[in-house]
């Protein structure tokens, strides 16, 4: 990627239909940092001690099995040139199959599941691949407007090789009729970009008589020190 | 960019990250009882002046010797129980993560960064479509290009206020009067 003109600093966007943005979106433009020595071009690292081998399987964190449709979700994490992000931390959190979080502030009148906390983490492999086993979360209501429902979604957190590549986002399921009605998903105004938040059902990843498979690949935006070194810039 | 490598969009962290992301010792970046330890703390406020009780503050910084490689161990888990195990008390990882409390307050204990006068911050919260970057400047350095480029009132939002001994106050204001300077890096790294 070569850029010949100075970038125009994007304004942080406010999305009126998602009410929570109103008092939390900065009014002033972001200030562009052009410093090649910026600390943000490097980032934190994680290792074997930061996870346990069971953390990627959200169905095995309690004495019993959680209720719900068992799924596996896998994909590759890459930088914007397509190079894999290796050995980095991926974190996942979600509601249970009934649409309730194991969080005391979630007072949705759906049952908690004593066998499901809904948190997972793993490190990407040498090809940037992550994989989780969990249950498909339920949709849940929220008070953004009358009869507002969040489509089923998984919350994900990713680290790249630079702090500039940090990403927290949400993954959705294909064919969900609530996708067209969700202010959070619609806060991404570009339709093609929204489509990148929807996983694909992957029959080759489904395990007979065990689980349904979904594939969701992720591309981290933002410059990093190694990106520029390898570009010879 | 071509479609295969188009970036994945950001989405809000939402209100319920608290049982997944914050960990024991997330703000204890400095090794236990290190004599150089500093405390950096403050509040997060929204545009109505209300404290933000569900934000997540992440810190990234060089080690005191200027190293930017970081080290694993910020989010250690206990393999016996699967629960957060806390840090080993020895390793300086360069990374910290804390949630604001019900008063909108956050605090980290760390070591002064080597080679630069600032800590890098990523701020996540319900209502933010994408996280925000800023910097906590612990002191001013004459050659700092970012500080030099800002008007005095804007620059002031990036300067931590010393509260001796070895303590600094830094508030984050998302919007409105005294709004913190937030940063973007798409042009960083160019020669
Ligand atoms: Fe959610």
**Taking 90 as the threshold, does the pLDDT of residue B49 lie above it?**
yes
**Taking 70 as the threshold, does the pLDDT of residue A117 lie above it?**
yes
Mean model confidence pLDDT for chain B: 95
Determine whether the interchain pair B181/A117 forms a contact, defined as Cβ–Cβ distance below 8 Å.
no
Cβ of residue A142 closer than 8 Å to a chain B Cβ: no
Determine whether the interchain pair A221/B12 forms a contact, defined as Cβ–Cβ distance below 8 Å.
no
Long-range contact pairs involving A145-153 (C-beta distance under 8 Å, separation at least 24): A145/A17, A145/A19, A145/A183, A148/A183, A149/A178, A149/A181, A149/A182, A150/A178, A150/A182, A150/A184, A151/A176, A151/A178, A151/A179, A151/A181, A151/A182, A151/A185, A152/A99, A152/A176, A152/A178, A153/A94
Q: Look at residue B23 in the predicted model and tell me its pLDDT.
A: 86
Q: Look at residue B125 in the predicted model and tell me its pLDDT.
A: 97
CATH number for the domain including B153?
Answer: 2.60.130.10
The verdict on residue B75 lying in a domain is yes
Q: Please provide the size of chain A in residues.
A: 233
Least confident span in A17-26, A164-173, A198-207, B128-137: A17-26
**Taking 70 as the threshold, does the pLDDT of residue A11 lie above it?**
no
Cβ of residue A226 closer than 8 Å to a chain B Cβ: no
User: Which tokens is B186 given?
Assistant: 């798409």
The verdict on residue B8 lying in a domain is no
Determine whether the interchain pair B174/A25 forms a contact, defined as Cβ–Cβ distance below 8 Å.
yes
- A79-92 confidence digits (pLDDT tens): 999 999 999 999 99
The verdict on residue B182 lying in a domain is no
**Taking 70 as the threshold, does the pLDDT of residue A27 lie above it?**
yes
The verdict on residue B178 lying in a domain is no
Tell me which of B71, B94, B188 to substitute to probe the interface with A (most A C-beta atoms closer than 10 Å).
Answer: B188
Q: Which domain holds residue B125?
A: 16-172
Domain count, chain B: 1
The verdict on residue B163 lying in a domain is yes
Quote ipTM for the complex. Answer: 0.96
Q: Look at residue A205 in the predicted model and tell me its pLDDT.
A: 97
**Taking 60 as the threshold, does the pLDDT of residue A230 lie above it?**
no
Q: How far is B96 from chain A (nearest CA, A)?
A: 9
Q: Look at residue A41 in the predicted model and tell me its pLDDT.
A: 97
**Taking 70 as the threshold, does the pLDDT of residue B2 lie above it?**
no
Can you tell me the mean pLDDT for A210-226? 92
Distance in Å, CA A184 to ligand 1 centroid: 10
Q: Look at residue B184 in the predicted model and tell me its pLDDT.
A: 96
Determine whether the interchain pair B174/A185 forms a contact, defined as Cβ–Cβ distance below 8 Å.
no
Domains and CATH numbers, chain A: 1-37 (no CATH), 43-223 (2.60.130.10)
Cβ of residue A146 closer than 8 Å to a chain B Cβ: no
CB A82 within 8 A of CB A221: no
Q: How far is A99 from chain B (nearest CA, A)?
A: 12
Determine whether the interchain pair A36/B183 forms a contact, defined as Cβ–Cβ distance below 8 Å.
no
**Taking 70 as the threshold, does the pLDDT of residue B191 lie above it?**
no
Distance in Å, CA B10 to ligand 1 centroid: 14
Burial of A118 (0-12, 13-18, 19+ CB in 10 A): buried
pTM for the whole thing? Answer: 0.94
Q: How far is B167 from chain A (nearest CA, A)?
A: 22
Q: Look at residue A226 in the predicted model and tell me its pLDDT.
A: 63
| Distance between first and last Cα of chain A | 10
Determine whether the interchain pair B77/A40 forms a contact, defined as Cβ–Cβ distance below 8 Å.
no
Cβ of residue A167 closer than 8 Å to a chain B Cβ: yes
Distance in Å, CA A199 to ligand 1 centroid: 16
**Taking 90 as the threshold, does the pLDDT of residue A72 lie above it?**
yes
Name the residues of A annotated as catalytic.
101, 140, 150, 153, 155
Please give the share of chain A, as a percent, with pLDDT higher than 70: 90
Count of CA atoms in the C-beta half-sphere (13 A) of A148: 12
User: Which tokens is A123 given?
Assistant: 């490190």
Neighbour tally for A203: CB within 10 Å: 8
Chain A residues inside the 8 Å CB shell of B72: 45-50
Determine whether the interchain pair B127/A222 forms a contact, defined as Cβ–Cβ distance below 8 Å.
no
Candidates A32, A47, A118; nearest CB to B184: A32
Please give the share of chain B, as a percent, with pLDDT higher than 90: 90
CB A41 within 8 A of CB A164: yes
Mean model confidence pLDDT for chain A: 91
- The span from the CA of B107 to the CA of B41, in Å, is 4
**Taking 90 as the threshold, does the pLDDT of residue A175 lie above it?**
yes
Can you tell me the mean pLDDT for B46-63? 97
CB B40 within 8 A of CB B136: yes
Can you tell me the mean pLDDT for A57-62? 96
The verdict on residue B156 lying in a domain is yes
Q: Look at residue B187 in the predicted model and tell me its pLDDT.
A: 85
pLDDT band at B121 (very low <50, low <70, confident <90, very high): very high
Chain B residues inside the 8 Å CB shell of A89: 75
Please give the share of chain A, as a percent, with pLDDT higher than 90: 84
Chain A residues inside the 8 Å CB shell of B9: 169, 188, 190, 193-194, 196-197
Q: Tell me how far CA of residue A138 lies from CA of A59, A181, A192, B15, in angstroms.
A: 15, 16, 25, 17
Determine whether the interchain pair B47/A89 forms a contact, defined as Cβ–Cβ distance below 8 Å.
no
pLDDT band at A232 (very low <50, low <70, confident <90, very high): very low
């Amino acid at each position: 990627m070569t850029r010949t003109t100075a970038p125009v600093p994007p304004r942080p966007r406010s999305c009126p239909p998602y009410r929570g943005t109103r008092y939390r979106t900065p009014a002033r433009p972001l200030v562009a940092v052009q410093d090649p020595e910026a600390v943000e071009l490097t980032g934190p690292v994680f290792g074997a001690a930061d996870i346990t081998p069971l953390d990627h399987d959200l169905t095995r964190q309690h004495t019993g099995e959680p209720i719900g449709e068992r799924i596996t979700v896998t994909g590759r994490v890459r930088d914007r040139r397509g190079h894999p992000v290796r050995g980095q931390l991926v974190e996942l959190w979600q509601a249970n199959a009934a649409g309730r979080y194991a969080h005391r502030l979630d007072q949705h009148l759906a049952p908690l599941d004593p066998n499901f906390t809904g948190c997972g983490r793993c490190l990407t492999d040498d090809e940037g691949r992550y994989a989780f086993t969990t249950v498909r979360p339920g949709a849940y209501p929220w008070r953004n407007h009358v009869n507002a429902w969040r489509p089923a979604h998984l919350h994900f957190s990713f680290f790249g090789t630079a702090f500039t590549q940090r990403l927290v986002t949400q993954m959705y399921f294909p064919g969900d009729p609530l996708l067209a009605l969700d202010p959070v998903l619609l806060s991404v105004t570009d339709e093609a970009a929204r489509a990148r938040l929807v996983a694909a059902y992957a029959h080759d990843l489904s395990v007979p008589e065990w689980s349904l498979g979904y594939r969701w690949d992720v591309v981290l935006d933002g410059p990093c020190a190694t990106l520029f070194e390898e570009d010879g810039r | 960019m071509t479609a295969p490598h188009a970036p994945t969009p950001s989405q809000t962290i939402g209100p319920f990250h608290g049982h997944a992301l914050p960990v024991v010792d997330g703000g204890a970046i400095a090794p236990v009882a290190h004599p150089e330890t500093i405390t950096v703390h403050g509040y997060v406020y929204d545009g109505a002046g209300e404290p933000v009780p569900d934000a997540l503050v992440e810190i990234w910084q060089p080690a005191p010797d200027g190293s930017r490689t970081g080290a694993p161990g910020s989010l250690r888990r206990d393999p016996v129980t699967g629960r957060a195990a806390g840090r080993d008390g020895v390793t300086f990882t360069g990374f910290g993560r804390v949630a604001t409390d019900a008063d909108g307050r956050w605090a980290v204990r760390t070591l002064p960064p080597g080679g630069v006068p600032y800590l890098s911050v990523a701020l996540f919260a319900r209502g933010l479509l994408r996280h925000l970057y800023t910097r906590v400047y612990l002191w001013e350095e004459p050659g700092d290009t970012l500080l030099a480029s800002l008007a005095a009132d804007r620059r002031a939002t990036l300067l931590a206020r010393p509260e001796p001994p070895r303590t600094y106050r830094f508030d984050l204001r998302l919007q409105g009067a005294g709004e913190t300077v937030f940063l973007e890096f798409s042009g960083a790294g160019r020669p």
